[in-house]
């Protein structure tokens, strides 16, 4: 029925509705509460969607058909936008202070994690009606989707990770205690198996094997900063599922100017690379051959590129003031960088490092291509 309706709409509204979305994306304009619709192949902005509220630290996920995005705003707003129509389909204020979200593997549920009131709320992806409210009594971070209509998230204050299984009529919650002090973010691997949370309050990270019936916290990189003075942390690092490079994870150290390499199978340390500043994002190019790193204030004008084979920095450059985010094209031939204080998104060739295009944007932060729709944990 829905398909029939869509087909009718395509016929009625002409060619604009027939535009494919596979190489489109959205750029968050955080100060103005708007989204730029961008075309990755044309390296161009093709539209703008306005009226999304406070988009500082905003992120978004895509519907499986790559037509709709669900935008998670800092003000607790959950907004469903239509990329083709460049319009807001629905918007609810679901909490007071939210930090991120995820969409279930079947595309039917959208989950939002909140600082205030602490917890996770889960919504019907069609109607944005709330179907589950899971208070945690804690600021909640590191929310990801995993296969089986499940979500995983972690409690900053309590140091616990919870798994919410939404495959039945009622949410079934599994609580894993002892994850460590002040987990600040987490990632899950693309297979949904390994969940790693970074800790602000301890000198290690903690991993879970989600394929186990009863996952147990496993400290990894224990004592990575032992004997070294911790630097002031002016911006918490981000962990992302794309930090898997070949057979290794690349993880930003907290309070140190380095990234850490971990064997993806046995989770032992395989190396460290000294970096220009304290890393915020360490993101592997989709083929895993390079890792691109940006940095916290006051080094946030710089990007370093690390070669995965040698673990050495092979390229360093300064795109401009306030490099907040990077997004690779799905096969990694180009990368888009948001340079907040220059008011630009800049596109680079990842092999030659040549600048290909500058696109004007108002205080751009997150860049999200629709290919994310088909990846677990993003």
Cβ contacts of 108 within 8 Å, gap of 6 or more: 124, 125, 126, 149
- What is the token pair recorded at 261? 């390499």
CB of 316 to other proteins, least distance (A): 22
> How far apart are the C-alpha atoms of 232 and 221, rounded to whole Å?
20
The piece of 16-24, 51-59, 285-293, 348-356 that touches other proteins (CB under 8 A) is 51-59
Q: Which is nearer to other proteins, 57 or 272 (CB)?
A: 57
> How far apart are the C-alpha atoms of 341 and 119, rounded to whole Å?
33
> How far apart are the C-alpha atoms of 288 and 181, rounded to whole Å?
31
For other proteins, which residue of 62, 70, 115, 348 counts as binding (CB under 8 A)?
Answer: 115
Q: Which is nearer to other proteins, 32 or 376 (CB)?
A: 32
The piece of 42-50, 229-237, 329-337, 348-356 that touches other proteins (CB under 8 A) is 229-237
Q: Which is nearer to other proteins, 70 or 156 (CB)?
A: 156
Greatest C-alpha distance within the chain: 68
Distances (CA, A) of 302 to 231, 278, 349, 360: 18, 11, 17, 19
CB of 350 to other proteins, least distance (A): 27
Three-state DSSP state, 275: coil
Q: Which is nearer to other proteins, 15 or 298 (CB)?
A: 298
Q: Which is nearer to other proteins, 273 or 278 (CB)?
A: 278
CA torsion angle 341 343 345 348 (round to 10)? -60
Binding residues among 52-111 for other proteins as defined by CB under 8 A? 54, 56-57, 74-75, 97, 99
228 near other proteins (CB under 8 A): no
In 3D, which of 293, 354, 353 has the Cα closest to residue 325? 293
CB of 245 to other proteins, least distance (A): 26
Which spans of this chain sit near other proteins (rule: CB under 8 A)?
30-31, 54, 56-57, 74-75, 97, 99, 115-116, 139, 141, 156, 182, 184, 200, 232-236, 297-298, 322, 340-341
């Amino acid at each position: 029925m829905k398909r029939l309706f869509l087909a009718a709409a395509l016929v009625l509204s002409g060619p604009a509705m027939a535009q494919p979305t596979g190489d489109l994306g959205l750029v968050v304009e955080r100060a103005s509460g708007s989204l730029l619709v961008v075309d990755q192949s044309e390296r161009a902005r093709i539209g703008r969607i306005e009226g999304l509220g406070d988009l500082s630290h905003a992120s978004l996920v895509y519907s499986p058909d790559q037509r709709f995005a669900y935008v998670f705003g800092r003000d607790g707003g959950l907004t469903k936008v239509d990329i083709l129509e460049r319009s807001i389909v629905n918007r609810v204020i679901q909490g007071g202070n939210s930090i991120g979200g995820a969409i279930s593997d079947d595309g039917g549920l959208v989950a939002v994690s909140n600082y205030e009131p602490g917890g996770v709320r889960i919504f019907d992806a069609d109607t944005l009606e709330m179907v589950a409210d899971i208070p945690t009594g804690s600021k909640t971070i590191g929310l990801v989707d995993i296969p089986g209509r499940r979500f995983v998230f972690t409690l900053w204050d309590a140091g616990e990770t919870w798994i919410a299984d939404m495959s039945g009529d009622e949410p079934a919650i599994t609580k894993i205690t002892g994850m460590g002090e002040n987990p600040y973010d987490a990632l899950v691997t693309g297979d949904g198996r390994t969940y790693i949370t970074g800790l602000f309050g301890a000198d290690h990270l903690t991993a879970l094997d989600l394929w186990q019936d009863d996952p147990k916290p496993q400290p990894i990189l224990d004592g990575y900063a032992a004997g070294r003075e911790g630097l002031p942390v002016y911006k918490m690092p981000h962990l992302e599922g794309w930090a898997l490079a070949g057979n290794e994870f690349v993880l930003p150290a907290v309070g140190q100017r380095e990234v850490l390499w971990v064997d993806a199978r046995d989770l032992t340390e395989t190396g460290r690379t000294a970096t220009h500043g304290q890393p915020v994002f360490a993101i592997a190019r989709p083929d895993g051959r390079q890792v691109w790193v940006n940095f916290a204030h006051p080094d946030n004008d710089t990007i370093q590129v690390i070669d995965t084979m040698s673990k050495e920095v092979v390229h360093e450059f300064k795109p401009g003031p306030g490099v907040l985010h990077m997004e690779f094209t799905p096969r990694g031939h180009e990368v888009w960088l948001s340079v907040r204080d220059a008011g630009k998104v800049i596109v680079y060739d990842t092999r030659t490092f040549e600048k290909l295009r500058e696109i004007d944007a108002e205080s751009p932060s997150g860049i999200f291509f629709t290919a994310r729709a088909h990846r677990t944990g993003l």
